[in-house]
Structures are given as structure tokens and as C-alpha cells.
Structure 1
Amino acid sequence: MMKNASESFHIETYFEAPIDKVWYSIATAEGMNTYLTYKAELRGKNEQPKPGDHFLLNYGDIENDQYILQFDKNDTFRVKDTYESISPDGSVQTFQVQTSTMLIKERDNLTKLTLMVEGFESDTYGQWFRECMRLGWTRSLLNLKSVLELGMDLRTPLFSYPRLGVLNCTVNEEQKLEHNYADTGNYLLEVFPNSPASKAGLEKGDIIIALNNKETANYDEFVRVISSFNIEKDAINIKYLRNGSSHYTQAYLSLEGNFTGLVDTDEDTFDDIRQKRENLAKQRSSSGSLWKKDKGGKR
């Protein structure tokens, strides 16, 4: 599918830190490891990054190959991102964006960073990827601000929250028309087998309206609400829409690495993680049928 340049987002952040420190954090492998990635490394023929080189970034069950397009120190860092993500069944999905650009400028004893990410696919999975990336970058830049200004790495509290085991996005106009729905909520693109959502009876195509009576009008609100649940012991109440009717169910959220993506990359490589999940999927369903995607579905 063709990319649509209008499918993009940008974030502006100000840091009480010298421009050299901000540049080091965003444009070197060592700096990325302080706030963003589990492991980052430069791959290329040059000791210093240059256009044509690659950064390989690992986020647990996600890897990102960054192809460097522009590298102007203390000014512009532009890359093309290719993400590979391991699903709970061990399959690997690939997502791309045309460009991710970071511009930094000194302003009144502050350093301003502008992040622009452009070129997401215009289908529903592209929408999910864009919403997921925008919120992920918002939290990561908040963490960078904390690292640079307070010396505190907040990755664990920012990203270690229980999961429902779904892929979801803000319900869009096409989905509203399909489901005869005029309100807000989160559309379920995928419900992973053996996940809390699956065990609670949720299905692909359902629209989650509220969690524990807290409205989840869009993707950001969904993550904000679910991030407030920091234990697995108590079931949460879920209000959702299916075939035009409201329903209620309960789910016990999970901190299992298959759903959080938080795995120990010091023990397992990216391929090790994929193989373990594939084997687990086969054990849970000897026929494998529970893990097959719908023929008409997109990944």
C-alpha cells in the first residue's frame, strides 16, 4: 500500500540541558541506551555515524533498523525506520515509516527538540502503529527529560504496566459505519489467544468503551487508564460494544512478557524470543488453529 505523507505526528520537547548532551542522547548508540532502548549499536564502516549507516535498536520483542538519511551534529538526525515485532505466537510483523526526523535548537538556555515521524500506511494497522508510536515516543522523551534533568531513568514505571493482550486503536469513521456506532472507544484489531482479553470473551472487532467505569475514548486514554492498574490480582470490569449492543465482562490483566514485550535480552536474542513464543503457541494448541490469523485479516 502506498504511504500517505499526511499520516504523521510531531512532538516538541524542551530540555534544561546543553545541546551537546541532547544530541548525544538521541544520535549515538550509547546515548540511546540511557533512555530509549535495551540495546543499540551502530552498524557501518565509519567510526562516527554517517548517511548510509544503520543503527540497530532493540526494545525487547521489537527491533528497529534505522537507516541514517541525514546526520548533522547538533542540528538534524533523520532516519528511515523498519520495525520488526514478535507477536505472542512467534510470528514476526514488519512496519515501516518513511522518515523520523529529530531537529534540535538552542533557545533561551534550553534545548528544543522537535520529533517528526512521517509516512505511515493509511489503513487501520497504520493508524494503530502511528498511535502506538506517538504515545511511545511521548513517554520516551519524558524519560529523556527525566534522565537529563533529574538523573532518573523512568522506563520501568512508564512501560511496565499490565496488558490486556490486544492490538487496539481509536475507533475511526469506517469502523463506526461498519458497526453502526456513533460514539468513541477503542477498536480491537487483534485479540491474542490465551490473553486476558481472549479469556474474558473479547473478540476482534469489539469496541472497548470503558475500563473500570473509566471511559477510553481514544488510544491515549486506553493506555492511560490501563497503566493505572499496577497489580494482576483484581479483575477489571470492561464495557464493550459488539454488533451494536453493549456488553460487560471482566479480565485479569497480565504482566507476561508475551504481552508486555518486556523480556530479558541479556539472556535471549531476538530470534530466541521468536522461537520460544512459537514453541509455546504450539504447546497451547496442538493443532495450531488458535494462532492462525483470519484469512481476510491484515498484519
Structure 2
Amino acid sequence: MATQLTRETIMQRLHAEREAGRTIYDALCGTGITAKMAARGGADMITTHILAYFRMQGLSSMAGYLPIGDANAITIELGERSLLNVIEDCPVIAGILCVDPTRDMNRFVDRLAAAGYHGVMNCPTVALIDGKFRLDLEETGTGYAREIEVLGHASSQGLFTKAFCTNPEETLAMAEAGVDNLIIHFGNSSGGTIGSETAMNFNDAAQRVAICTDALGNKYADRIITCHGGSIETPGHFAEFIKLAPRLDGYVGGSSAERFPIEESVPAVTRAFKAVKTKGG
């Protein structure tokens, strides 16, 4: 059963990791077993949401952006029935569709806290949507401004909060709303069997980190800065990337936290069993 951890305790732990020069690692998990093993391996927090759910069904996480599932219902069920009962002493964060027009989202945030979640984040996020569709979302009250409002409410209720951001304006607005952990998002991940063929390269990603963190100035130096997506597929990739983006405090793993390890280990074990000769061989 997940330990009841306050926002203050979570932030104290994260700042201790930062001051010790250790990477803050956030694992986005769609099943109880991957969440349990990530926590056992030392993850600083576990997060679940509809994208992780679809990823662990063998589908692209981008399915979470299609109208084929109730994102918020899936998140609360994943927590109550799969994650919160198997993780101990590790924060568990709910990724929610903040712009959901079918719910009173302030009340839903309270329900997540009552279920045992230690915090919330904006996933899925409209930050990854652009063009005319994004404009239509913004003009109809289902844009990024709504995500800021919902996370601001969660922060005011004492929950730990984190946010996907893709530009300086989003990053600063989330900081001003009181969000604790700002995650610079580089877009869908490459790699594996269902990753994007095109992904943001290291140089462009480092530039995004720089302009987003510059927008914060010294006023929000206490905020935890992490990143997600793009071409970072392995710990080695992150070790190289952080040289280009030294302001980062850590990394948020999605496919790299659960899909890649499974895609590599399960076929290997299967081949090893198949290689064992029986008496008829």
C-alpha cells in the first residue's frame, strides 16, 4: 500500500537528490508490475495515465490522444486497482486530462487525493497539439490555460504537481501557478517496435531546455526541471544529453521505463527457453 507522502516530503526528497548530484528519475508506468519494479529500482516517483495504459497493451502511447478511452476513468482505476496497492514509500502521481469538459475537475482532483494519489500532472496535454485544432481548443476553453487552472487548484490543495511544457510561455505559466516539477517535453519517443521514426534531436532538445529554463530566471530556482521524450532512449543517451542541458535535474521515462526493457527481455528469455534441447532433440 502506498505511503501517505505530503508535498513537502516529496519536494524535500527531490531537492536532496538534486543537491547530491543524483538524477531524479520519474517512471511513467501502465501496469502494476512495471511500477512495482521501478519503485524497487529506486525511482523517485511513479506516474500513470492513459498513454502508459495503451503503451502496455502493445499500442503506441499516442493512442491516448484519440477518442477511444476515458482518460480520467482509466487513470483512477489504474491507481486504485493496479498501482497504489503494490507500491510502498514512493510517490504515485496521476496523469489526468485536465481539459475534460464532462467532469468538475476540481472535485475530480480531490477524488484522486482521496484514492491515495500523491499528486497530479497534465497528461494527456494539449501542449503537443498545434495548428488550427490547437487554436480551436484554446478558443473553446479546452486549451493549455485550463491545464494551468487545474494544476493550480491541485497545488492549492497541497498536492504535488508537475507539468509537461513545450515552450517558455507554458513553462513560466505553470511555475507561476505553483507547479513543483516542470517537465520539458520533446515530443513522442523514438525507438523500439512502436516508436516514432522522426524525433527531436539532442541539439534541438537542448535548445528547448535552455529557452524554457531561461524564462524562469532566478525566481523559480526551487522548481525541479526534468525532461521527457524525443531521442533519449537509454540511460547512456541521457548521460550524454545532460552535458548539453546541465540545468536539468532528471529524466522522465515512458517507453524507456517499461516498453524497451520488455521488448528486449521477453524475446531474449523466450529464445533461451526455445534453445533448451529436450530428449527428442
Query: Which TM-score applies when normalising by structure 1?
Result: 0.27
Q: Which of the two has greater helix per residue?
A: 2
Larger radius of gyration: 1
